[in-house]
Amino acid sequence: MHLLLGLTFAKKNQIANARVEAKRISELFARVDMSGKPFYDNAGIRVLSAMLWAACGEKENAIVDLRKAEAMGGFIGANQYENKSFDWNLVFKGTGFVPDSKSSSFSDKISGFKAIQFRSEIPEKKMPTVQITKTKMVFSSQPWHKENLIRNESFKETIQKSKYMSRMFKSELEYQSLNLVTSVATGVVLATGITVGVAIVGGGIYLAAQSGASGASEGIAQIIGIGFIAGTEIYNAGIRFYDSTQAKIQSERNEFQDVSRFYRYVRFIPDFLILETDATQTTNSKHFFKIENSAGRIQISFEP
């Protein structure tokens, strides 16, 4: 959010305010967890921070971030900017990864948010290849969401798991109860179909025999046909009732147990950042953001 706010200030030429946001990002890099691991620091975010510093005209601070990104394996040639200006084109691609939990395993579900995966809405064939070269960097934001999930939930895992386990067992109890009721009701309908069919056939044959009417054999054949049709229709209705009810129960069960619906997160980071460090090679001419200053030229665009 500091990055977006900083870029907004820079776009409005409020450089002093943009510089404040860049400093706040630098302060966040210094935060570590109890094991000494940085909360927010990674190569992709360092490159974004460098871009904001460059937009503020702070070339030296931008190079510091680029060297850090290079040490993390996410950039090549940070030192070259000591002797040349920035000429960057950054593309934000996609609308952001979304949480999704498709696991059918009961043990996975009661583990809580650990079952969540993040998926992109970009068709797989249109996903850019994640790569790092001298003139192009493609970075996926998916790891950021995973890190955020681990970081935010590590201290709440025991409580969350306890609450969710209770919810899961309640859900399973309701599901099994509904399943039993449906099975019993279906059995009644199926038995009714069979009983009605047998009753029509048996009763019809009995009445025909008692009447002693001529053509009784043809009448018995018709009675058997009517009984078969009636019994079959009721039986099939029972099967349809069972199938539709089971589908509804299963759908409600899956929705109720979908833990991703309860995971709170902010999705403002696109799926991929694509950085071209030689803007003359890009063909994208529609830029959301473009600034030129003593540090060089920075351009930003968005792709669906």
Range with the lowest mean pLDDT among 162-171, 178-187, 211-220, 243-252?
A: 211-220
H or E element that contains 89: strand 86-93
**Does the pLDDT value for residue 278 go beyond 70?**
yes
Residue 115: pLDDT band with limits 50, 70, 90: confident
Q: Per-residue pLDDT averaged across 123-127, rounded?
A: 87
> What is the number of structural domains in the chain?
2
In a shared domain, residues 145 and 178:
no
Rounded to the nearest integer, the mean pLDDT of the chain is 76
In a shared domain, residues 228 and 299:
no
- Strand 289-293 and strand 136-140: the pairing is unpaired
Does 104 fall in a domain? no
**Does the pLDDT value for residue 187 go beyond 60?**
yes
In a shared domain, residues 64 and 181:
no
In a shared domain, residues 229 and 192:
yes
In a shared domain, residues 247 and 231:
yes
In a shared domain, residues 15 and 164:
no
Q: Per-residue pLDDT averaged across 20-32, rounded?
A: 91
Token readout for 9 is 């200030």
User: Whole-angstrom Cα distance, residue 222 to residue 214?
Assistant: 14
Residue 282: pLDDT band with limits 50, 70, 90: low
Check if the beta carbon of residue 135 is closer than 8 Å to that of residue 278.
yes
What is the predicted pLDDT for the residue at 5? 93
Range with the lowest mean pLDDT among 4-13, 53-62, 151-160, 231-240?
A: 151-160
Burial class (CB in 10 A: 0-12, 13-18, 19+), 140: buried
- Strand 117-119 and strand 289-293: the pairing is unpaired
Q: Which residues pair with 298 in a beta bridge?
A: 88, 291
Does 63 fall in a domain? yes
For residue 250, give its domain range: 160-260
Does 265 fall in a domain? no
What is the predicted pLDDT for the residue at 22? 96
Percent of the chain with pLDDT over 90: 24
What is the predicted pLDDT for the residue at 71? 93
What is the predicted pLDDT for the residue at 289? 85
Check if the beta carbon of residue 237 is closer than 8 Å to that of residue 193.
yes
Q: Global pTM? A: 0.62
Dihedral angle of Cα 276, 64, 68, 282, to the nearest 10 degrees: 0
Percent of the chain with pLDDT over 70: 59
Residues 6+ apart with CB under 8 A from 243: none
